[in-house]
Structures are given as C-alpha cells and as structure tokens.
Amino acid sequence: MPLPSMKEQFAALIAAPSVSCTQAALDQTNRPVIDLLASWLGDLGFAIDIQQVSPGKFNLLASYGSGPGGLVLAGHSDTVPYDAALWKTDPLKLTEVDGRWVGLGSCDMKGFFALAIEAVLPLLDQRFKQPLLILATCDEESSMSGARALAEAGRPLGRAAVIGEPTGLKPIRLHKGVMMERIDILGQSGHSSDPSLGHSALEAMHDAMGELRGLRLAWQREYRNPQFSVPQPTLNFGCIHGGDNPNRICGQCSLEFDLRPLPGMDPQVLRAAIRQKLEPLAERHKVKIDYAPLFPEVPPFEQAEDAELVRVAERLTGHRAEAVAFGTEAPYLQRLGCETLVLGPGDIACAHQPGEYLEMSRLTPTVRLLRELIEHYCLKPA
C-alpha cells in the first residue's frame, strides 16, 4: 500500500484516541497511535522498537541509519481528556476551519509526527551518515512515565533532540520545573466549646501555609531569571479541604499546592526545606503532618545558549532561543546525553482547549525546518 499523504496521516493520528489521565475512567491506551507510526515508518525502512512502559502504554523508537550521534525528533503520543460537547467540530476528526486544522492533538502534539515523516521523505534516498530517530512517548499529559522510563533505562539516543511541543516555531531552551505537592494534617476533633478536647488540623495548616509563604518569599528573593515572563519561582495554593462543622474542632485538613522552580533549583532541596519547616509545627500543634508529592516532579530544564543545537535552531528559525513556563520531557532526553530544544509549530494558547488547532500556514515552514535539521545532523559528517 502507498504511504498515506501528510494530511491523511494527520487525520489518522487525530482519529486514534489516546487520552492520558490520572482518572482511570478517562485513561486510554496509546497503542493505536504507536501502531500507526510503526506501520508508516516501518514501510519507509525505519527499524522499529516498541517498548511497553506499563499495561496499555507504549513508547516507540524508530531509527533510520545507525551509529552514534544523529538527531531525535520527539513527541508524545497522548492527549489530554476532552469534553466533546464543548467542541464545535468532532474532536477526533481532522476538520479544516478558517485556515486551521482543528482536532484533538493537532497542536499538542500528535500532528508533529506527520510533519516529521513528510520532512524526511525526500531524503531517504541519500546515505545517512548519522541516524535519525523518531521517538513517540506515552503519558506525557499525566505522569510522564514514557520519558521517565527512557531516562531510567539510560540508553543513549542521539547527539541532539528536538521536541515538537507547541512553541510557535520559536526555539525554547529553558523551562521551569513542575512540582505538585500535598500536605495532609491529622489532628483530633472535639467539641468547639473546649479547645483542650482536640488538636485543630486547620490551625496547624494555617501555620503551615505561613511557613510556605515565608519560603516562597525567600526563594523569590534568592532566585530570578529575567528570561522568563514570570522571572521568579512561583508557589500557588491550589485547593484546601478540612473540617465539617463550625462547632467541631477540625480533625483533618489537606492542602494541594503547585511549585514552579527555575533552572538551578533542585526539587529535592526544595522539599527538604519544606519538611524542615513542617516538623516543628507537628510537635507544637500535637498533630500528624504527612507531606508528599502528588506526582513525580518534572525538573527544570536549561540547555546552554552556546550549544550547537541552539545555534543551529536560531539560525534556521531566525528567532533567539527563549524560555517558557510549561513543563516538557526535555530534561529526561537531556539526561540521556542529547543537546535538547523544544520547538514545534503549534500555539500553547490553544492547547488543552476545545477547538484545538494548528495553523495551516505553519505546515510548510515546519516541514522545511525539520528537513534542514535532518540534513544538518544526519546527512553531514559529525
């Protein structure tokens, strides 16, 4: 069978559901997307390696050419959940609307794979002096288990890696980390008329939040990076739950918060500082305090501005490498020895939104850019 056209591939990827969600009822396998990519790339002569990360969840590593070095074009095969009632079109059907390709995953980021395949097609009759690897991971939108599994396996990938997340075709060499944390305080309930009958988890949490606010202020004084639109680390109190009635001493209270560290801030050091502040509170209030991450952290990411990949991408795009606030799989690929950049055609403003789209005007420039990157890293001697 002939290879489907780029638009047909794009549409097939959109039509293959691959929601990744921490809620089991919404979570789906990504195998249909992996099988499509494996079929197309296998037919083109790529060596196919499908790795099971967990039941129903798979990574794909497709390679053309062999040897050390080379280029990795990487992306995630999953999408966020969606509410079809809020979409004006079928989210699982590629629809052209006002010069845009609309569909779930068009921007973030299954559509990137169709563009990468289109980019390499006219180059396959040439000798690849260094390999091209196309990487599709699972569960980026929830646990990042696919990228974590690669990092833990420790198998070197390539000399350079480009992750096609939505950046408006501007190279991104820095992003903040993502830490989502939870504090649970267990006190002792009792009648509100006599404070000695209990130990208030709510009052202990009030003091815990005060300590966190103090740490936030200290970290914002110590750390600053003007390349980010929000140049300091942030700590957001997202939700709090506790107690059940005004006339009962609150016996249990929980807080969930979000911490976005800058490059150079170690999540483990930050957690140690938080624990150091919480321990005296437990003794003072005679409560039990349990503090743990909701999910494993995404580390901050920074690629040196003088790296070859940064210089090449800046030259090809005409844009200086920038910083973004959202997290990606970049730190995990970087851990495997790749110079790493985030660079893709979508716009982050429409990601995770009903009506997600990719501007059709970005299709040709993206294919051209990816082809030039492949030529630089795979067709020229190292």
pLDDT, residue 23, reads 86
Instruction: Give the chain's mean pLDDT.
Output: 97
If you average pLDDT over residues 220-246, what whole number do you get? Answer: 96
pLDDT of 25-54, one tens digit each?
Answer: 999 999 999 999 999 999 999 999 999 999
pLDDT at 239 over 80: yes
pLDDT of residue 68 exceeding 90, the answer is no
Q: What mean pLDDT comes out for the span 158-181?
A: 97
**Calpha distance 32→10 (Å, rounded):** 14
Confidence class of residue 361 from pLDDT cuts 50, 70 and 90?
Answer: very high
**For 221-250, what is the mean pLDDT?**
96
Per-residue pLDDT band at 173 (split at 50, 70, 90)? very high
Is the pLDDT confidence value at 381 over 90? no
User: Which are the catalytic amino acids?
Assistant: 78, 140
Confidence of residue 382 (pLDDT cuts 50, 70, 90): confident
Q: Which whole number is the average pLDDT over 351-361? A: 97
The confidence score (pLDDT) of residue 2 equals: 87
Q: Over the stretch 109-142, which tens digit does the pLDDT of each residue have?
A: 999 999 999 999 999 999 999 999 999 999 999 8
Helix (H) or strand (E) segment spanning residue 238: strand 234-242
Beta strands in 104-233 (DSSP E): 132-137, 160-163, 172-175, 179-186
For the residues 277-300, what does the mean pLDDT come to?
A: 96
pLDDT band at 220 (very low <50, low <70, confident <90, very high): very high
Look at strands 132-137 and 71-76 and give their pairing.
parallel
Q: How confident is the model at residue 349 (pLDDT cuts 50, 70, 90)?
A: very high
Q: For residue range 253-268, what is the model confidence (pLDDT) as tens digits?
A: 999 999 999 999 999 9
pLDDT tens-digit map of 95-105: 999 999 999 99
pLDDT of residue 159: 96
Instruction: Choose among 373, 341, 330: nearest CA to 70.
Output: 373
Share of the chain above pLDDT 70, in %: 100
Q: Which residue has the tokens 């991450």?
A: 293
Strand partners, 75: 136
- Tens digits of per-residue pLDDT, 157-168? 999 999 999 999
Q: What 3 state SS string does 15-56 have?
A: HCCCECCCCCCCCCCCHHHHHHHHHHHHHCCCEEEEEEEECC
The pLDDT score that the predictor gives to residue 22 is 83
Output the pLDDT for position 8: 98
Query: What mean pLDDT comes out for the span 354-376?
Result: 98
Secondary structure element (H or E) that encloses residue 358, with its range: strand 357-359
The DSSP letter of residue 5 is P
User: Which band of pLDDT confidence, cut at 50, 70 and 90, is reported for residue 240?
Assistant: very high
